[in-house]
């Protein structure tokens, strides 16, 4: 018969990290009601390539204790979203009244990013997610990249009958440096970057590790990172099985989440003794 301690060890070995995915507020059923959600590709990538258990966190204004929530998760995944971070969070100029916004996600994520950084919880930001990470730690954003001199139009194609394959196709190279170059084993990779906004002033605590040909910041990592605190502007969740570098990033995010789980379990075990 298995001992209680042996059973406990087996349970720990079989556990998978819990990854919190920030949900966006979405109009569904032709705008008749709203729901909190994210893309299937994001969930699939966390399950398949990070080997973690995902759960969605609805964005809510003033509803969460960010520090307490961060203490209970093994990773934070920040996916893209249609709404942009509201500019008052980074002292930016006002945007048009019809600009899609998601105040609940802004409040939830910006506070949670700070708490996760403080507690060394792994973070992987994608598209809007890299922008949230930068704003949370004091950086700012350009409202419309394509309106800046010398910048390309990084927005998705909007013509009639556009297919997902066309939307998420590889578009341009990014130049890698630092840990990203080491992970990729290369100084350039092709990415499927789609965005209207982009990083303007980089937060002091981040290092730039990927840049597009027109000088847009496409990848960042926390300086003196104790875990995996990485943001990318491209859609790494889109079929990483066909994009080696994006797959590697998800795998490393998963490894960091497992290390976080082991550390949490060790603390819990020491308290229980």
| Catalytic residue numbers, as ranges | 127, 235, 237
C-alpha torsion sign, points 183, 210, 123, 45: negative
Q: Please name the residues in contact with 99: beta carbons below 8 A apart, sequence gap of 6 or more.
A: 84
Q: Which helix (H) or strand (E) holds 123?
A: strand 123-126
Q: For 66, list phi and psi in degrees, rounded to 5.
A: -60, -40
Angstrom distance (rounded) from CA 105 to CA 72? 19
| DSSP secondary structure code for residue 122 in this structure | -
Helix axes 103-118, 128-136, angle to 10 degrees: 60
* C-alpha closest to that of 39 among 174, 194, 189: 194
* C-alpha closest to that of 216 among 130, 100, 135: 130
Q: Are strands 229-232 and 217-222 parallel, antiparallel or unpaired?
A: antiparallel
């Amino acid at each position: 018969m298995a001992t209680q301690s042996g059973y406990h060890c087996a349970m720990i070995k079989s556990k998978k990290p819990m990854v919190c995915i920030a949900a966006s507020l979405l109009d569904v059923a032709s705008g008749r009601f709203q729901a909190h959600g994210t893309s299937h590709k994001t969930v699939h990538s966390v399950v398949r390539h990070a080997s973690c258990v995902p759960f969605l966190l609805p964005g809510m204004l003033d509803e969460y204790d960010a520090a307490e929530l961060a203490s209970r998760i093994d990773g934070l995944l920040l996916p893209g979203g249609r709404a942009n971070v509201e500019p008052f969070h980074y002292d930016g100029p006002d945007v048009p009244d019809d600009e899609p916004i998601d105040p609940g996600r802004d409040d939830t994520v910006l506070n949670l990013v700070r708490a996760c950084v403080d507690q060394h919880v792994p973070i992987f930001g994608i598209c809007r997610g890299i922008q949230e990470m930068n704003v949370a730690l004091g950086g700012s954003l350009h409202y419309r990249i394509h309106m800046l001199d010398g910048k390309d139009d990084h927005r998705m194609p909007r013509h009639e009958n556009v297919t997902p394959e066309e939307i998420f196709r590889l578009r341009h190279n990014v130049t890698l440096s630092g840990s990203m170059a080491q992970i990729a084993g290369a100084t350039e990779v092709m990415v499927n970057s789609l965005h209207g906004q982009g990083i303007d002033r980089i937060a002091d605590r981040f290092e730039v590790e990927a840049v597009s040909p027109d000088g847009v910041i496409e990848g960042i990592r926390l300086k003196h990172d104790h875990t995996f605190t990485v943001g990318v502007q491209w859609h790494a969740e889109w079929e990483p099985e066909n994009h080696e570098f994006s797959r590697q990033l998800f795998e490393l995010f998963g490894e960091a989440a497992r290390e976080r789980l082991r550390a949490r379990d060790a603390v819990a075990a020491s308290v229980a003794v």
